[in-house]
Amino acid sequence: MTIANQELRTIMTAHTKDDENARRDFLQLTAGAMGVVGAACVATPLVNSLNPAKDTLALATIEVDVSDLKPGEAKTEMWQGKPVFIKHRTPKEIEEAEDVDVATLRDKQPDSARVQKPEWLVVIGVCTHLGCIPVGNKPTDAHGDYDGWFCPCHGSHYDTSGRVRKGPAPKNLAVPPYEFVSDTVIKIG
């Protein structure tokens, strides 16, 4: 028996109680950790199944013909389960939107960053406060203090560019991704 072997033997037989406990702690910890990892692996697909399904995501683009909208008129289209407001703005409304000092706004965006063609404003018609639908698309609706939209739920006012000007909403009405397929057809999504 070589020296090395003998040393090894002493090390291996020197199992004190402490070693034994440390070994058990280690086994318990690793087994427990494996259990947690396993549970997380099972939980992930279950929770993720609650996220939007593929067919829900597939409803992602629509085409809208806007040739029927005269200046000053607006209409509402459903996109991803949400209303999209499409507004044909009058020169006066465009001017109002452009003349605002951006620094005074809560959510600082110039009108030019929110439209592709000044006559056409396309925004998601969901109040950025708690998700109500603001009114203002019909001429008979309230338009708020800034000639745009008014949210009846907690009183947010939006201007002719769909920017929040007053009330609890933190952000401007969102602009969805869209493009002009032709002069009178807009593809949203």
Alpha carbon 188 to its chain centroid, in Å, reads 16
Shortest CB 153 distance to other proteins, Å: 6
Residue 152 sits in the site that holds other proteins (CB under 8 A): yes
Stretches 28-36, 90-98, 124-132, 177-185: which one binds other proteins (CB under 8 A)? 124-132
Q: Which of ligand FES, other proteins, none interacts with 80 (beta carbon under 5 to 8 A by kind)?
A: other proteins
Alpha carbon 75 to its chain centroid, in Å, reads 23
Question: Interface residues with ligand FES (CB under 6 A)?
Answer: 127, 129-132, 151, 153-156, 167-169
Shortest CB 39 distance to ligand FES, Å: 38
Residue type, 134: P
Is 15 considered catalytic here? Answer: no
Q: Assess contact for 148 and 137: CB atoms under 8 A.
A: no
DSSP result, 152-173: TTTTEEEETTS-EEESS--SPP
Among 3, 11, 42, 53, binds other proteins (CB under 8 A): 53
Looking at the Cβ atoms of 64 and 161, the one nearer to ligand FES is: 161
The one catalytic residue in 15, 88, 154, 157 is: 154
Sheet containing 62-65: give its strands across: 62-65, 185-188, 178-180
Q: Report the C-alpha gap between 54 and 60 in whole angstroms.
A: 10
Q: Which residue has the tokens 């933190």?
A: 170
Chain residues binding other proteins by CB under 8 A are 47, 50-53, 56, 76, 78, 80-83, 104, 106-107, 126, 129-133, 135, 151-155, 168, 170
Give the residue numbers annotated as catalytic, written as ranges: 154
